Structure 1
Amino acid sequence: MALPTELLRRRTSCGPSKTLPTTTRPAPTSHTSSFSARPSSTLTPPILPDKAFTKPESTISVPPDLESQSRTSTSSTSSSTTLEEVQEAMAAAALTYSAFTPFQRISIIIICSLSALISPLSATLYVPALPAVAESLGVSFSKVNLTITSYLILQGLSPSIWASVGESLGRKLLYVTLLTVYIGACIGLAITNEYGVVVGLRALQALGSAPAVALGAGVISDLIHVSERGKYTSNFMALAGIGTAFGPVLGGVLAQYAGWHSIFIFLASLGGFVCIMIFVFVPETQRSHVGDGSLPSRKITQPLVPWLKCKAVKRVDEDGNRVEPMQKGLHLDLMGPIRVLREKDMICCVLYAGFCFMVWQMQMVSTSSQYSQKYGLGEMQIGLTYIATGVGSLFGSIVTGRILQHDYEKQLVWETDHDIVNSKDDDSILHVQGAKKEVEYIERARIWSLRYPTALYILTVIGFGWSIEYNAHIAVPICLSFLFGALNTSILAAFSTLIIDLFETSSFAATASLNLSRCILSAAGTSAVEPLIKSVGMGWCFTIMAGFIICSTPLALAEYRYGSKWRCQRIAREKAAARQRGELRSADMAEVEKRAGGTTS
């Protein structure tokens, strides 16, 4: 395949035209022989950059006959970037991204990741106990289902509500506040036998637990550089899938042997343990409060045991005055998550990931009734079948993390060889041995690997429905449930990582928007799955669901193709608005000084 001359003649940029300084790459030493330069044909994405992103002036001398040369011959020159150079650049960028040590970063993420278990466990532990709850409260099954409805409604809304104050409170203070609300709701549920109180406390429980996933994604964004963020986000998201899969098993055991109140005693204990760990050990990480971690934080957010605390650097401004901790007043911005949804790239990401997650939730909800009716399984046996989904989620997260890391490195090699300019400030495109530190086309690095999981996910959805329709051996739908969990987690982890990459400064609000979209679509899907199965059967029901995924796939393709353009346009608007706000503030200050001078005279 011929190498397009247009790509080498122009450099990608979202800002004013500028030329990178020439960087001389040293010749690879003997220890780099194992990382020989790859042919660039293996590194080239199938869709090349648009002309809208390229500079009009040529800065690279291109021979007239370059179009007739193959990519292999081009990459064989000494200027090709080796994988080792890229890995060294990524390691340098990751090391300087945060002042916390690698041990401190991993420890903080592990502690905060425990909170990601709370929300799915709160939803799924309760499901096997519904008959016992209805009998204990003396209400019908339709009424006891309202306790689930109230939880789902607040589960979708609460991240958006808390995101409005999250930037003001900081990560740690918001964690402690949320977990305190959650623990209080669990204690109330553990001692009450009133139906109305249960409905209200379930909503309060969701208010305190649901934002934990979005908040954890924000912590990862604070501590982990974009080059390593994929594997951390994948492992973090896997905990939510494991909680969803294993929750019914644990809930059935607790409800059967200790009563339904014991479920909330267990959840209160788990919430209390996580809250104590965060309060005692975890420092503040939000970059708008402590920068890279080296700025001193407010006393209220400092950990009691400073093992994981980064040593604060005493910084001074230009006048020699000490830089104090950033003090922020409480700022309520309820429209923040909604504003994020107005962006084209965000809409494509949340809708596609939301439809895939909706189909998975529909499979989780319909499984119990179908296994009971078609295969005659009991409650405990049905709970055990969910283990396959949990193991699949764990497997999918581990594999996806490695794939995202590999695709990022491959994209970085390709962009370095073709001298692609990063759309961020010049500081973000510093070179180490000629290799860039960050990828410009981050959309392609995250989405390219999903082409096979998406196709396999569609086939799995169809196969699962028809295997139950024709009463295939129970092992068939259980194995397909494993694929359900693995493939859905892969898609969700990739797009969750991409959303954090696109909205680094507002990752909490962006992840809350994703959660809101997922919950709304899942609520609609789970309420319609049983009537749809009764109308057309299990096979055609999931065939229709596969059709939803197929119809939403162009959204992912649009983000892959045009996401960089939309992102650059959004960054340009934000910079223009920031400049305008600065000019207005300068004009206001000049007017104030003018009036003050007139009054004095």
Structure 2
Amino acid sequence: MFPFKMSEGNPNDGPTPQPANPTSPCPCRDDTKGTQRYETKEQEADSAQESCYSLFTVTQKRWIVFLVAAAGMFSPMSSFIYYPAINSIASGLNTSVELINLTITSYMAVSGVVPTVVGNAADGLGRRPIYILTMLIYLVANIGLALQNSFPALLVLRMVQSAGSSGTISLGYGVISDITTPAERGSYVGLLLLGPNVAPPLGPIVGGVVSSKLGKLLDSDYASVARTHGLEVNRVFGDDLRNFPIEKARLRSVFYIIMGASLSILAYGWLLCFHVHFSAPLVMQFIIGATSTAIFTILGALLTDINSSASSTAAASANVIRCALAATGLAVVETMVQKIGPGWCFTIFSGITAAMGPLLLLERERGLGWRNKIYQGNGGSG
């Protein structure tokens, strides 16, 4: 027997057969097309939502960047806050200043290596668990440093402290890559670098403000290059950078900044050589700090753009080179000043800075072609 109900129309029509499961929709109903249309619209909405680059609002993005910038303060703060207390620490531990300086060297060495490991782990495991782990390590190291009373403990805990804090900047670049499109990324990179730059003294603070303003210039350059090549900027879904000359967008203004950095380094050296009033070298230091921060902001944004799938690892790799060059410079600058004087010493540094201009020009003109060759070599997998 089939379940049935009487027709509500003509009583003589007899029973109307019903399907065995009255709760299942009938495939022959007239509103099937309407249901399909409704489901199609839902699927389109879901698809659009999934293809949207980030579901965070602008306010939420700014708060996220504020938090990662705050986390980025800890590494430079832990480094710079240490310098004024070197003599006191040496006296308190009954050791020499030279040995205390060894803790600074070890701190820098760890800060050059650990971000590579942290960045690679964050690209594979996610940002949040790595942030929690590094901040926990940093917290434990600080507690240990507050309680220790021997040089070996100080040396080891300073390295642990560096391991916990030094990866936050590369993690921050990964977060920026996750939540922002290339069209808006410049401004957020500038905001990210405010954190590391407010930890040291006044010069880098102002340099951080400059980097924040520079971020808007980066976004403006991006839009200008897009218009020049007839490309539409999409701040919601993001742009496909495989065919976009992002190198021309990011490096559009960097050459003027490199020129300013090179000239200010040159002037700084000769001002020291002629023993002028100390205010003049301080002004040059301000310009050097501002231009250096600006260059770092621009190249950091470009590095994130062309390595969006492994942005933390890329930022960490750049940090290794940066720390290695910084350590080399610190090792030779005093000897150079004593041998050839500050004027010629900083003339050499100025020339090295200026020599980076042609290399970046080569990157700007040929970067897109190089990226396409890498993309094709990977079988179109990015």
TM-score for both structures, normalised by structure 1? 0.53
1:101 maps to which residue?
Answer: 57
Aligned counterparts of 2:120 and 2:191: Cα–Cα separation in 1:
26
Q: Is the 8 A contact 1:391 1:482 kept in 2?
A: no
- 1:73-472 to 2 correspondence within 5 Å? 96-243=52-199, 245-246=200-201, 387=202, 389-416=203-230, 428=239, 440-472=244-276
Aligned counterparts of 2:73 and 2:119: Cα–Cα separation in 1:
19
Q: Is the 8 A contact 1:392 1:483 kept in 2?
A: no
- Per the TM alignment, residue 428 of structure 1 is displaced from its structure 2 partner at its CA by 4.7
Aligned counterparts of 1:232 and 1:165: Cα–Cα separation in 2:
23
The structure 1 segments of at least 4 consecutive aligned residues displaced by more than 3 Å after TM superposition are 426-429
Q: Percent identity?
A: 31
Other structure's SS at 1:111 match? helix
Q: What is the aligned-residue RMSD (CA, Å)?
A: 2.5
- Per the TM alignment, residue 113 of structure 1 is displaced from its structure 2 partner at its CA by 1.3
Q: Is the 8 A contact 2:187 2:218 kept in 1?
A: yes
- 1:568-587 to 2 correspondence within 5 Å? 568-575=372-379
Letter in 2 for 1:394: G
2:285 maps to which residue?
Answer: 481
1:521 maps to which residue?
Answer: 325
Aligned counterparts of 2:276 and 2:58: Cα–Cα separation in 1:
49
Q: Is the 8 A contact 1:220 1:232 kept in 2?
A: yes
Aligned counterparts of 2:340 and 2:112: Cα–Cα separation in 1:
29
Other structure's SS at 1:228 match? helix
Letter in 1 for 2:216: R
C-alpha distance 438-571 of structure 1, shift in aligned 2 (>3 A): closer
- Per the TM alignment, residue 396 of structure 1 is displaced from its structure 2 partner at its CA by 2.2
Give the paired residue count. Answer: 332
CA displacement, residues 467-523 of structure 1 (integer Å, 9 cap, x when unaligned): 122121222111111111111111110000000000001001100001111001101
Aligned counterparts of 1:559 and 1:121: Cα–Cα separation in 2:
33
Other structure's SS at 2:194 match? helix
Q: Which structure 2 segments of 5+ residues have no match? A: 1-47
From the CA coordinates, give the structure whose radius of gyration is larger: 2
Other structure's SS at 1:172 match? helix
1:47 maps to which residue?
Answer: none
Counterpart of 1:545 (choices 332, 349, 362) is 349
2:337 maps to which residue?
Answer: 533
CA displacement, residues 281-326 of structure 1 (integer Å, 9 cap, x when unaligned): xxxxxxxxxxxxxxxxxxxxxxxxxxxxxxxxxxxxxxxxxxxxxx
Aligned counterparts of 1:129 and 1:236: Cα–Cα separation in 2:
28
1:496 matched to 2:310? The reply is no
Aligned counterparts of 2:155 and 2:83: Cα–Cα separation in 1:
14
- Per the TM alignment, residue 439 of structure 1 is displaced from its structure 2 partner at its CA by 7.4
- Per the TM alignment, residue 195 of structure 1 is displaced from its structure 2 partner at its CA by 0.3
Aligned counterparts of 1:242 and 1:538: Cα–Cα separation in 2:
28
Q: Is the 8 A contact 2:53 2:238 kept in 1?
A: no
Aligned counterparts of 1:105 and 1:457: Cα–Cα separation in 2:
32
Other structure's SS at 1:227 match? helix
Other structure's SS at 1:99 match? coil
Other structure's SS at 2:73 match? helix
Q: Is the 8 A contact 2:69 2:194 kept in 1?
A: no
CA displacement, residues 348-373 of structure 1 (integer Å, 9 cap, x when unaligned): xxxxxxxxxxxxxxxxxxxxxxxxxx
Letter in 2 for 1:142: E
Q: Is the 8 A contact 2:69 2:191 kept in 1?
A: no
2:363 maps to which residue?
Answer: 559
Letter in 2 for 1:526: L
Q: Which structure 1 segments of 5+ residues have no match? A: 1-91, 247-386, 421-425, 430-436, 580-601
